[in-house]
Structure 1
Amino acid sequence: MTETLVTVGLGDRSYPIHIQSGLLGKIANDLQAHPFAHRYCVISDDNVASLYGSQLIKSLNAARIDAQIITFPQGEMSKNFQTIASLASTLAQQGFDRKDGLIALGGGVTGDITGFLASIYMRGIPFAQIPTTLLAQVDSSVGGKTGVDIPEGKNLAGTFYQPQVVYIDTDVLQTLPLEELKGGLAEVIKYGVIKDADFFAFLDTHRKAILSLDKNTIATLIARCCEIKAEVVELDEREGGLRRILNYGHTIGHAVEAASSFTLIHGFAVAIGMCAAASLALKNGFLSLEESSAIRQLIKSYDLPVDIPSELDRDDMRR
């Protein structure tokens, strides 16, 4: 399978997104040809590190690239200042300075943590993204949003800090739990709703190939999502206006996610949020009944939730 290349055009901060099956084993070659740091520290959660960490470090070291790995406990509960402080201390103890860089290996939590750490360590060092979940591949690894959670809310402390490069290996999705794959598809559907009717139709007609992770279909899907996000970010990097369309489903989704104490995965919460937003748009005359129904039906066809769980406290969500 040939590589697909998408570029995020931000002037002298532009960067490539490489998409290919089996790409993980080729990253060392690209970093040899296009190094962005003197040495590298891979940041990963303990679960992803057990799957791909050793493979990545061995390939980098075999190419005489100085690299090591630091891990943290898996999950949203690690996305806090305590984790950032611990990782920063380890980097300092290992003598990492401004000539060095980070590599995020993992899902959205890992990407957010690594990007935020890179943006503040030594007042900013470069980093790369290797997203290992569909959600991270199509959304959070692209665009430069980083952040951590605080007691008052999700992602309330963060920065805009673009990566140097994004490497997307479609093969890593084979180890992704089905629930996480479906959660990522909620973000995929979002792009079809907000920006591309043809892509929306593609998702409807290629459901079987997508769910079976057909390599060519998945590569096409990921590339189109990255293209759409790149187009939006290029026009509105810091979310002054247009970029807010990427938050479709997230306003209500974040409230649902928090009300569930994060037992409901992010993608499922976004799916519920998109349906709720479509219903509100229908009531206020911004969507037709046909359009609102089509959105709900596509989400439902991927076995994603469409209604707010009855056990959640609506008052908690309003807060």
Structure 2
Amino acid sequence: MTQQDGTAIGIEVTGDGAYSISVGRDLLGGVAETLGERVNKVLIVHTSTVGRLAEELRTELQRDFAQVLLAEVPDAESAKRVEVAAFCWKLLGQADFTRSDAIIGLGGGAVTDLAGFVAATWLRGVRLLQIPTTVLGMVDAAVGGKTGINTAEGKNLVGAFYAPHAVICDTGLLETLARNEILAGFAEVAKYGFIAEPEILETIERDVDRATDPTTPEFLRLIELSIAVKARVVSEDFREGGLREILNYGHTLGHAIEHAERYQWRHGVAVSIGMVYAAELGRMAGQLPDAVVDRHRSVLGALGLPLSYPAGRWPGLLATMQRDKKARAGMLRFIVLDDIAKPRVLAGVDESVLQFAYQEIAA
């Protein structure tokens, strides 16, 4: 991480499709400069939740670009449908967008996933600027170059690896978020603590209220640490051929729970349960100490996140996991820990072991 000026931290993603991530307050005044002079038209993809912000950004950008359009899409996972992507493609076609134009994803993780997918597929790729407005978007969805939409069979089964031109994380935008939205996003923050950065866990344990208050230095530090972990991993493995798999900690079961709940649950809520399950699996099929399993429950519980799921749902969850994109040749793959900051892949586990681990989190 490098200090850019008095207000922003610059975090660099290197390797394939290198780009920069700016983290700080009051950064939206630099959007036009970040997009660059060669851009002619801009489409801002957003939800109604940030409608006023989208209008303000549009007014600002109209000073620099020939045309600035808005595409309001549904909230949360409802945005990640092929019908919504087709709506955006239609707007781009009607406005004669070319490869010299740009798309901005303004909103939470689902919106940045959608905007990224639309940018990756329109004319096989146009300039993309991500401006996440939620904790989840800033620490996860907007900063890794993964884009995608959901299908009836599962989450993110259709998508592309597509690096953005840049990412702007204006942490001031988080100060108006609902408390439950912040805490749901902190599941991903805690994930980085478990797989790579113990300081994150220690900060949450020391004072969870300050850690999750967007106006405190502790909060900003955790956002920066989380983004830095993801940037480091993505720099080494952009297309998830190896190391990047560790970012899926808690996600195999978490995605199955989201599917079971028809995407009515926030992503972080489901991933919280998924991490407790992964910890139990790591203890049962690996060598994770009891104290670390207990620490999962204490940290996630302090964040007000769920730790269990109904016992009778296991058969359906297993079937969904077997269709997950992380499975290979029909073999389920889980990220587990041998200790804090020591993740590894666990594959080919007997189904009875998977079920026994689930019994440990079953309500």
- Calculate the TM-score normalised by the size of structure 1: 0.93
* Aligned partners of 2:214 and 2:220 also within 8 Å: no
The 5 A counterparts of 1:45-56 are 45-48=47-50, 50-56=51-57
AA aligned opposite 1:255: A
SS of structure 2 residue aligned to 1:18? strand
* Aligned partners of 2:102 and 2:127 also within 8 Å: yes
Q: C-alpha separation between the residues in 2 aligned to 1:138 and 1:127?
A: 18
1:24 counterpart residue number:
28
1:15 counterpart residue number:
19
1:284 counterpart residue number:
285
* Aligned partners of 2:213 and 2:219 also within 8 Å: no
* 1:6 shift after superposition: 0.5
Relative to structure 1, the CA distance from residue 65 to residue 289 in structure 2 (aligned partners, 3 Å threshold; closer, same or farther) is: farther
SS of structure 2 residue aligned to 1:313? helix
- Calculate the TM-score normalised by the size of structure 2: 0.82
* 1:200 shift after superposition: 2.1
Percentage identity across paired residues of the two chains: 35
Q: C-alpha separation between the residues in 2 aligned to 1:295 and 1:65?
A: 51
Q: C-alpha separation between the residues in 1 aligned to 2:114 and 2:296?
A: 32
1:181 counterpart residue number:
182
1:57 counterpart residue number:
58
SS of structure 1 residue aligned to 2:120? helix
SS of structure 2 residue aligned to 1:138? helix
* Aligned partners of 1:42 and 1:69 also within 8 Å: yes
SS of structure 2 residue aligned to 1:55? helix
1:59-88 CA distance string (max 9 Å, x none): 222455642211122231231111111110
AA aligned opposite 2:48: D
Q: C-alpha separation between the residues in 2 aligned to 1:238 and 1:278?
A: 26
Q: Post-superposition, which runs of at least 4 consecutive aligned residues in structure 1 deviate over 6 A?
A: none
1:315 counterpart residue number:
315
* Aligned partners of 2:257 and 2:270 also within 8 Å: yes
SS of structure 1 residue aligned to 2:62? helix
Q: C-alpha separation between the residues in 2 aligned to 1:200 and 1:92?
A: 47
Q: C-alpha separation between the residues in 2 aligned to 1:100 and 1:213?
A: 34
Q: C-alpha separation between the residues in 2 aligned to 1:185 and 1:74?
A: 19
1:125 counterpart residue number:
126
Q: C-alpha separation between the residues in 2 aligned to 1:205 and 1:103?
A: 37
Q: C-alpha separation between the residues in 1 aligned to 2:245 and 2:222?
A: 22
1:38 counterpart residue number:
40
SS of structure 2 residue aligned to 1:37? coil
Q: C-alpha separation between the residues in 1 aligned to 2:37 and 2:119?
A: 16
AA aligned opposite 1:9: T
* Aligned partners of 2:41 and 2:65 also within 8 Å: no
Query: Structure 2 stretches of 5 or more lacking a match?
Result: 1-5, 320-363
AA aligned opposite 2:45: I
SS of structure 1 residue aligned to 2:96? coil
Query: Would you say how many aligned residue pairs link Structure 1 and Structure 2?
Result: 314
Relative to structure 1, the CA distance from residue 70 to residue 151 in structure 2 (aligned partners, 3 Å threshold; closer, same or farther) is: same
